[in-house]
Amino acid sequence: MHQRADFTSELPLIDHHCHGVVTRELERDSLEGLMSESYRPPPAGTSHFQKPLGLAIRRHCAPILGLEPLAPTEAYVERRRQLGTAEVNRRLLAATSVDLHLLDTGHRSAEITGVGEFAGISTHRVREVVRIEAVAEEVAASGVEASQFATRFAEALQRRGETAVGFKSIVAYRTTFRIEQSAPSAAEVVSAAGRWLGAIGSARPRIDCPVLIRHGLWTAAQICRERRLPIQLHVGFGDPDVYMHACDPTHFTDFVRAMESWEVPITLLHNYPFIREAAWMAEVFQNVYYDVGVIVNFTGPSGERMVREALEVGPFTKQVYSSDAFGLAELHYLGALLFRRHLCAVLDGWIRAGDCTARDAETIFSGIARDNALRIYPLG
């Protein structure tokens, strides 16, 4: 009889990609809105609780709020309202077995907690990851001339990067991965900036020009090369801005290969449904890392299959943990709980089948849980 190995103990995870939580009180509609990547509510008469994530919230989060597991949706929503958002956030984040969160602060940042506030609520350590495109949009909003854009952007990125532990790009969202991937020339950047800045008017700047996005990536890459920071790339699963078929990360091989020669780590985020492609890239490119963040929450009872697939071919030294939680403390709690549970279940099966020792399993677990992230991010 094989014993369940020690890796099931509470070794805290490092969540290498997540976002803050909302602190405002949530009516049912806004609660459900944060349970979906869609821009629209579910069809009339249906609910976002009627999917795998809904089951996972009712099963695992209800007890933290003092309800029975799988309490009805109405009871869950009502209990959440009674306790209030501050108490719900406090309880769920305190129960989240993570001791360090790397927060992407560049998405809907006015609606959610920043680094300091999130650290206060969770009582965990928190470091910032800076979203490249958000910095470009801030520079554009500050009213810069096209000829000055590249300089001002580089300065802003350098400044924001001083306390950050990495950069993040949403190139897949804004242009897909099927774009030219070399660094644009200075003249190309000036003329693209002129077209973009001229078209903004009074609207909030939104960068979607491939030349400027490429320029952002290469400017950040230069900082990463000097300071040995990773670049996170959004891959696959996300909101309706994504043209999923063109977000397969293997389309971005030229940039990834260039970063390999610069020794800049690339962490591929989420990856669903391209988990195998991401794991293969981690196998062949020295600088590529990957996670199955977000999809473990969204697949609920089927999540173990995602974790199993991520372990098929990728080196154990190249996978990292993330929740990609945004807005709801439930997503932080569930991300850690489900990932830990699924990874333990898979490794336990390997031990029982005689495919690895308990010691091997512990090393694999602690690598993915935290050691791999400690190797690529400056977290000391």
Binding site for Zn ion (CB under 5 A): 324
DSSP string, 317-356: TSB-------B-HHHHHHHHHHHHHHHHHHHHHHHHTTSS
Q: In the β-sheet with 125-131, what is the strand arrangement from edge to edge?
A: 13-18, 98-104, 125-131, 166-169, 231-235, 266-270, 288-290
Residues 265 and 224: their CA atoms lie apart, in Å, by 9
Residues 143 and 146: their CA atoms lie apart, in Å, by 10
The residue (of 269 and 364) whose beta carbon lies closer to Zn ion is 269
The residue (of 277 and 324) whose beta carbon lies closer to Zn ion is 324
Contact 237, 324 (CB under 8 A): no
Residue 379: CB minimum distance to Zn ion, A: 18
Encoded tokens for 30? 């806004």
By Cβ distance, which residue is nearest to Zn ion?
324
Residue 326: CB minimum distance to Zn ion, A: 6
Residue 271: CB minimum distance to Zn ion, A: 12
Residue 332: CB minimum distance to Zn ion, A: 12
Residues 193 and 328: their CA atoms lie apart, in Å, by 36
Residues 242 and 142: their CA atoms lie apart, in Å, by 28
Neighbours of 245 (CB within 10 A): 9
Report strand pairing: 166-169 vs 125-131: parallel
Residue 269: CB minimum distance to Zn ion, A: 6
Residue 19: CB minimum distance to Zn ion, A: 6
The C-alpha angle 142, 143, 145, rounded to 5 degrees, equals 130
Task: Quickly tell me which residue has 């959004």 as its tokens.
Answer: 234
Report strand pairing: 125-131 vs 98-104: parallel
Encoded tokens for 15? 């969540």
**CA-wise closest residue to 122 among 13, 34, 30:** 13
The residue (of 324 and 348) whose beta carbon lies closer to Zn ion is 324
The residue (of 234 and 318) whose beta carbon lies closer to Zn ion is 234
The residue (of 76 and 237) whose beta carbon lies closer to Zn ion is 237
Residues 331 and 307: their CA atoms lie apart, in Å, by 17
The residue (of 37 and 145) whose beta carbon lies closer to Zn ion is 37
Residues 297 and 304: their CA atoms lie apart, in Å, by 11
Residue 17: CB minimum distance to Zn ion, A: 6
Residue 153: CB minimum distance to Zn ion, A: 22
Residue 108: CB minimum distance to Zn ion, A: 11
The residue (of 117 and 188) whose beta carbon lies closer to Zn ion is 117
User: CA end-to-end span of the chain, whole Å?
Assistant: 40
The residue (of 53 and 361) whose beta carbon lies closer to Zn ion is 53
Cα Rg, the chain, nearest whole Å: 21
The residue (of 248 and 324) whose beta carbon lies closer to Zn ion is 324
**CA-wise closest residue to 95 among 10, 35, 5, 4:** 10
Residue 162: CB minimum distance to Zn ion, A: 22
The residue (of 73 and 323) whose beta carbon lies closer to Zn ion is 323
